[in-house]
Structure 1
């Protein structure tokens, strides 16, 4: 009985872990960016990330509109606004949506290949530690835009869920 009980127990535990991992869903809502100046080499993307169960971590991003994308924080140091890369990613926990917004956490788009123009949109791939890649469409709003909360529009219905 012992010879087959151990593999059976390992199989049952593995199945439970896989079922638990498959149930967590990442949701990305209100992805937006601000229009950039014609000569600008950088831009930013903003959005809200939530998970329905457990935890995950946003560890990176990429977009064909920029040479690279980095997770950044925005903070005040000695009265001067500074942006810094986020080390180790951004934790996402069930019940606590994470808002990437102007003046806070955001995705820095470095080396823009063309200006971001109001009314257009672009693809952005978010990279999660557990969920893997999640593709979203980012709406480009006006230069001082603050997102859906200020405009009354939610641009999150563009392939914004990952199972």
Structure 2
């Protein structure tokens, strides 16, 4: 990945500072199900014109008795969708594809959020705009494929409704 693309990707996926205003209220949380998996509040951010990458965020709960793995997905105008992780290693922020996907433990959950695990929408052919939800899919090793709708938050939003990340449970 070239340096310019890496910097753009990092800017799109880093959490926004706490000084930003928080929206109050209780928005409805979209949920989707496939087998024992429950996908809560999938969202992404609008992108500035010319952006080639964006991130997808959500909480995935496994109500079953066996683990599963998130291994991929699809997103409009993105020919490549990968499961990624952003982490600080030796004081440097690094992003990488998670080969083999993310395990969703039996009876547990995983949060995909800015600055951590996320879906990476790559080589976008068009800008993501605030407004109508974007329909995509998630692919799991055991549960299969589920169609979901990503809420589109404004550029730079810290969460789907202007709050700080996914809903807390």
- Give the TM-score category using the shorter length: 0.7 to 0.9
Unpaired runs of 5+ residues, structure 2, are 1-33
Runs (4+) off by over 3 Å: 148-152
Query: What TM-score do the two structures reach when normalised by structure 2?
Result: 0.71
Deviations 1:6-61 (A, max 9, x none): xxxxxxxxxxxxxxxxx952110010001111010111110111111121111111
CA contact (8 A) 2:151 2:160 kept: no
TM-score (norm: length of structure 1): 0.74
1:131 and 2:143 correspond: yes
Q: Are 1:99 and 2:111 matched, yes or no?
A: yes
Partner of 1:36: 47
How is 1:3-82 mapped onto 2 (pairs within 5 angstroms)?
24-54=35-65, 55-82=67-94
Unaligned runs of 5+ in 1: 1-22, 156-163
> Is 1:113 aligned to residue 125 of structure 2?
yes
Report the number of matched residues: 133
C-alpha distance in 2 between matches for 1:94 and 1:145 = 31
Structure that is richer in helix per residue: 1
Cα distance in 2 between the residues matched to 1:51 and 1:40: 33
